[in-house]
Structure 1
Amino acid sequence: KVLEEVHRDMALSALPTSIGRVPINVGAAAAGTLSADQWRTLCTVHLPITLIRLWANHSPTDRKRMMLENYLHMVIAVRYGTARRISSVRIQTYNYHIFKYVSGLRRLFPEQDLVPNQHLALHLGEVLSRFGPTQGYWAFPFERYIRLLRQAGTNYRIGTVPSAEAS
């Protein structure tokens, strides 16, 4: 149900050209694997639009409303953590929201352990203060190479490389 609503809202949304596109059928096998940039757009643009529309009017004690508020802490943290400009105030804002998000996860899903990325996100504020904005050291180029490698044909035989001459 929520994914159908996300698809509907995506079809009705006009985004600036500077924002990466997400496949309109995201979630379907035909949409393929999302890149990190597509995940960021989905999670910080499309999902908030839909979830706010669906859950914001629920009672503050309703589980969906609490999950929405917690999710929005993550969205804000991602926005500040991936900004092209950084300052001590922005780092403090990032830290506030990422800690609220992670503590909210622990409260909302006590039976779930944190995954490594959630734990590492708690340390990004320190990384930002030492090294500056993340664009200078993120691994997006490597992600592109991994995608190319996934698309490459293979015969699963060690030591042989398919060539154009063989076809």
Structure 2
Amino acid sequence: MFKLGMPSWIEPAPSRPGEKGQGSFSADQWRTFCTINLPFTLVQLWGSLPYINFMHLITAVCLANMRVMTEACIRSFEYHMWVYLEELIDLNPHTRITTYQHMSLHFGNLLRRFGPVKSWQCFAFEHLNYTIRKFPTNSRFGMCTSLLFHGAISYFRL
């Protein structure tokens, strides 16, 4: 067994994903878990064919998140996403494509129209939602959630 060393600027994934008490992943933790941790683990668990299929998905995600977008990157993204979904059905014949998986086939058009995802993602809102979820509200809209909501509105008016 080996210990995977990562640069300090990468937020580490939870040490025991899927176990009770780990909480929900942040977007950075999902990215680290899927693009760094899982490729090292899954090749040992799955063997080559399912692993190659998973790598098509990871390649598509990495291409979609590039800071500079070219037509060649978009075409490569579309290729890897298409191959991933086709092989997913071949590997798991009873699997049905979900709405989100279908929508991913149209993501190349968004990249063509709007450019790199970094320029049009809603990071500030995602971060705010992550912060708000940390406050104990007992699932009721009351003083605490109301103050957070109004504070968020004033924050984005700056």
TM-score, scaled to structure 1: 0.77
Structure 2 residue corresponding to 1:69, chosen from 52, 55, 80: 52
* Aligned-residue offset at 1:20: 2.5
* Aligned-residue offset at 1:109: 1.9
Q: In structure 2, what is the equivalent of residue 20 of structure 1?
A: 11
Which piece of structure 1 moves more, 130-139 or 103-112? 103-112
Structure 1 residue corresponding to 2:110, chosen from 111, 115, 127: 127
Q: In structure 1, what is the equivalent of residue 149 of structure 2?
A: none
Q: In structure 2, what is the equivalent of residue 41 of structure 1?
A: 32
Q: Which runs of no fewer than 5 residues in structure 1 stay unpaired? A: 1-7, 57-64
Residue type of the partner of 2:4?
S
- Alpha-carbon displacement from aligned partner over 1:73-103 (angstroms, at most 9, x marks no partner): 0011111011111111111111110100011
* Aligned-residue offset at 1:45: 0.9
Do structure 1's residue 99 and structure 2's residue 82 form an aligned pair? yes
RMSD across aligned positions (CA): 2.1
- Alpha-carbon displacement from aligned partner over 1:111-162 (angstroms, at most 9, x marks no partner): 222222211111111111111100111223222222222222224455x415
Residue type of the partner of 1:105?
L
Once the two structures are aligned, what percentage of the paired residues are identical? 34
Once residues 139 and 16 of structure 2 are traced to their aligned partners in structure 1, the CA distance between those partners, rounded to angstroms, is 31
After the TM superposition, list the runs of 4 or more consecutive aligned residues in structure 1 that deviate by more than 3 angstroms.
53-56, 155-158
Structure 2 residue corresponding to 1:144, chosen from 112, 118, 127: 127
Residue type of the partner of 1:143?
E
How many correspondences in the alignment? 145
Once residues 106 and 139 of structure 2 are traced to their aligned partners in structure 1, the CA distance between those partners, rounded to angstroms, is 39
Once residues 34 and 18 of structure 2 are traced to their aligned partners in structure 1, the CA distance between those partners, rounded to angstroms, is 13
TM-score, scaled to structure 2: 0.81
Residue type of the partner of 1:41?
T
Residue type of the partner of 2:9?
S
Q: Which runs of no fewer than 5 residues in structure 2 stay unpaired? A: 146-158
Q: In structure 1, what is the equivalent of residue 101 of structure 2?
A: 118
